[in-house]
Amino acid sequence: MPTVITAARLVTPIEWIEAPVVVIEDGHITALRSRNDAEIPAGQFLNFPDLILAPGFIDIHIHGGAGRDAMEASESALAQIERQLVKHGVTAYLPTTVTAPEEKILKALDGLGKCITTANRNHGRAYPLGIHLEGPFISHAKRGVHPPENLLAPSPQALDRFWHASAGNIRMMTIAPELPGAAETIRYAGTLGVHSSLGHSNATYNEAQSGISAGANHATHTFNAMRALDHRDPGILGAVLENDALTADIIADGIHVHPSVLNLFLRAKGADRAILITDAISATGMPDGVYNLGGLEVQVSNGRCEYQGKLAGSVLTLDRAIRNVMNFVGWQLQQAVKLATLNPAERLGISDQRGLLAPGRRADLVVLTPEGEVVHTIIGGEIAN
């Protein structure tokens, strides 16, 4: 028997549908229309009057949550992280690594790859789409809290070791394009289907352009851990903000980036090329205290995560990031939701499966108030929280 979901409105997020009827069978949407145009079919009903349906959110940069860290790379750690994500409307994500001794990265990639391989049995949990390799191919000058002794020169050979350790599950790689070997590594990543994201970089404008020419198509937590923008030295930020072929993500927590800069970023990248991420660490959803980030002890207080006085990730949730875009910049819900659904899905090349509510797509939805508060998350047509 199909599941039939009704609500006040639905955002695909390309368009609004009033009085929607969503029909789901075998975990996928088989029909989507308005009650104004057709009768409600028979089935198991889920009715959300006065609420809004939207695609499940996708976080392409997250290190942990609920007291657990992605570098633990265990089933129990990912289970807790994934249940935490579902509470905030996230139905799919990229567990993200950090710079560490190569042996530790390889071990984490091995564990994450095994968890991802068996992830289709994770009912009621966010789904790991693949791995985001953040570090070790990053700039010493813009490493943030990544340990300097563990930075590694990029090379196709090094990436190949990581790729095989992950069983081919790396989907995104943050890389500083100015490093020797970066261009060759970006080109090799492209042959593996890995998206190269410019970040943790002190690149000049020309060096950033070289990375883009080699195949980089995204930018990691724009403004943070990047060479500053100057009117005579635009640097990596100039290249990222002006290039319409490049998507870019941002941490919209009001701590990493001032709301006015968030506004400038959204004006530059627009509603089609901006992506919201959390960069969340294990402290997300937990009380203030000391938490683990890939082996670093991070102090968390009043929403700030710091290691030796430097920002070290966040406790942001993706639903909060969407609301912040609405509150800081004045964007409408439909525009803000697109930054966490269709845009990341298109960057990862999975918009035929996720990020858009339409027949044939996965039945991963979030039920929202008009203000963007999560009421329920639905995975495969079933309420997960």
User: Annotated catalytic sites, by residue?
Assistant: 279
Q: Which two tokens stand for residue 181?
A: 């070997």
The partner residues of 306 in beta bridges, in order of sequence, read: 299, 311
The three-class DSSP label of residue 280 is strand
Structure tokens at 246: 């490049």
d(CA 207, CA 189): 18
> Do 331 and 266 contact (CB within 8 A), yes or no?
yes
Quick one: tokens of 116?
């991802």
For residue 141, how many other CB atoms are within 10 A of its CB?
A: 12
Of 284, 381, 363, 276, the C-alpha closest to 326 is: 276
What residues contact residue 357 under an 8 Å CB cut-off, 6+ apart?
10, 11, 12, 13, 22, 29, 32, 53, 54, 55, 365
Pairing of strands 68-69, 57-62: unpaired
Residues in the chain: 385
